[in-house]
C-alpha cells in the first residue's frame, strides 16, 4: 500500500468514525424522548442507550486508529522527502 493510499484510507476512516459519533450522540440525546408505536398507537418508554454508547466507543477507537494511519503515512512521506533531498 502506498503512503498516499494509506492517507486516503485514514481520512475515510476518520470521516466514517466522526459520522458515527454524530449519529450516536443524536441517539443518546434523544433517548429520553418517547416514541409513538405505529402499530398500536401507544407511547413506548424511553429507548435503551446501551447500544449507542457501545457504538460511540467503537467509533472513537476508529477515529483514533485512523488518525494513527494518517500520521504514519505523513511520517513516511516526510522520510521519503528527507531521503530525496
Coil, strand, or helix at residue 70?
helix
Rounded to two decimals, the pTM is 0.75
pLDDT, mean of residues 60-78: 93
Note whether 11 and 66 are within 8 A (CB): yes
| Confidence class for position 83, pLDDT limits 50, 70, 90 | confident
What confidence score (pLDDT) does residue 12 get?
97
Structural domain count of the chain: 1
Residues 17-67 have pLDDT tens digits of 999 999 999 999 998 876 555 555 555 556 789 999 999 999 999 999 999
Nearest to 64 by CA among 53, 56, 75, 76: 56
- The cell for 26 is 443524536
- Boundaries of domain holding 44: 3-84
Amino acid at each position: 500500500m502506498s503512503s498516499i493510499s494509506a492517507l486516503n484510507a485514514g481520512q475515510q476512516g476518520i470521516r466514517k468514525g466522526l459520522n458515527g459519533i454524530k449519529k450516536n450522540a443524536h441517539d443518546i440525546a434523544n433517548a429520553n424522548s418517547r416514541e409513538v408505536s405505529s402499530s398500536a398507537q401507544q407511547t413506548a418508554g424511553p429507548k435503551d442507550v446501551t447500544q449507542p454508547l457501545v457504538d460511540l466507543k467503537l467509533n472513537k477507537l476508529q477515529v483514533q486508529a485512523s488518525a494513527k494511519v494518517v500520521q504514519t503515512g505523513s511520517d513516511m512521506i516526510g522520510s521519503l522527502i528527507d531521503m530525496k533531498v
